[in-house]
Chain A
Amino acid sequence: MLRYGKEPALTGRLVKNILLLALGLLMIYPLIWLFFGSFKTNTDLFGSLSLFPKTFVWDAYSKGWRGTGQFTYGTFFLNTLMLVVPTVFFTVVSSAIVAYGFARFQFPLKGALFALMISTLMLPQAVIIIPRYLIFRNLGWLDGYWPFIVPAIFACYPFFIFMLIQFFRGLPRELDESAVMDGCNPVTILFRILLPLCKPALFSAAIFQFIWTWNDFFNSLIFINSVKKYTVSLALRMTIDSTGGTVAWNQIMSMSVLAILPPLLIFFMFQRYFVEGIATTGIKG
Chain B
Amino acid sequence: MKRTFKGIAGLVICSVMGISLAACGGNSANAPQAQNGSAAGGDSTKPVTLRFSWWGNDTRHQATLKAIDAYTKLHPNVKIEAEYTGFDGFYNKLLTQFAGGTAPDLFQFTYEWDNDMYDFLLDLKQSKSLDTSGYDPSVLKNFANYKDKMIMAPAGATSVSLFYNQAFFQKYGIPENTEWTWDNLMEIGKKVHAQDPNAYLLTADIDVIYKLILQPYVAQMTGKNWINDDYTPAFDNAALTKGLTYLSELYKNGVLEPFGDSSAFVGKMEQNPKWIKGQIGILFDYISAFDKYKQSVPGGQLGVAAYPMAPNAPQSGNPIAAGTGFAVNKTSPNAEEAVKFINWMVNDKDAALILGAQRGIPATSTARKALEDAKQLDSNITKGLDLAAKQKTIAPNVISINADLAQIAKDSLQKLIYQKETPEQAADEILKAYAPKLAALKK
Contact = CB atoms under 8 A, between A and B. Distances in A.
A150 B270 CA distance: 43
Contacts, number: 163
Nearest to B7: A186
Contact of B25 (A46, A104, A141): A141
Nearest to A251: B58
Interface stretch (A3-11, A220-228, A257-265, A274-282): A220-228
Q: Which of B29, B30, B268 has the most CB of A within 10 A?
A: B29
Contacts of A98: 11
Contact of B29 (A134, A143, A154): A143
Contacts of A139: 22, 26
A97 B26 CA distance: 25
B100 A133 contact: yes
Contact of A68 (B7, B10, B58): B58
A247 B271 CA distance: 11
A141 B10 CA distance: 27
Interface in B235-262: none
Nearest to B3: A186
Contacts of B22: 139, 146, 150, 153
B96 A222 contact: yes
Interface of B is mostly: helix
B88 A245 contact: no
A187 B14 CA distance: 11
B211 interface: no
Contacts of A226: 81, 83
B215 to A, nearest CB: 19
Nearest to A228: B81
A226 B83 CA distance: 5
A152 to B, nearest CB: 10
B184 to A, nearest CB: 28
Given A97-B14, A237-B88, A247 B57 contact: yes
A137 interface: yes
Contacts of A153: 18, 21-22
B293 to A, nearest CB: 9
A141 B271 contact: no
Interface of A: 42-43, 45-48, 68-70, 94, 97-98, 100-101, 104-107, 130, 133-134, 137, 139-144, 146, 149-150, 153-154, 180, 185-187, 221-222, 225-227, 234, 237-248
What are the 7 tightest A-B residue pairs by CB atom distance, in nearest-first order? A245-B57, A47-B276, A140-B30, A240-B86, A242-B267, A153-B18, A46-B271
6 contacts: A43-B276, A97-B11, A221-B89, A222-B96, A238-B61, A244-B288
Given A69-B65, A133-B96, A150-B18, 11 more contacts: A46-B272, A68-B84, A70-B65, A140-B27, A140-B29, A146-B22, A146-B29, A150-B22, A245-B289, A246-B291, A247-B292
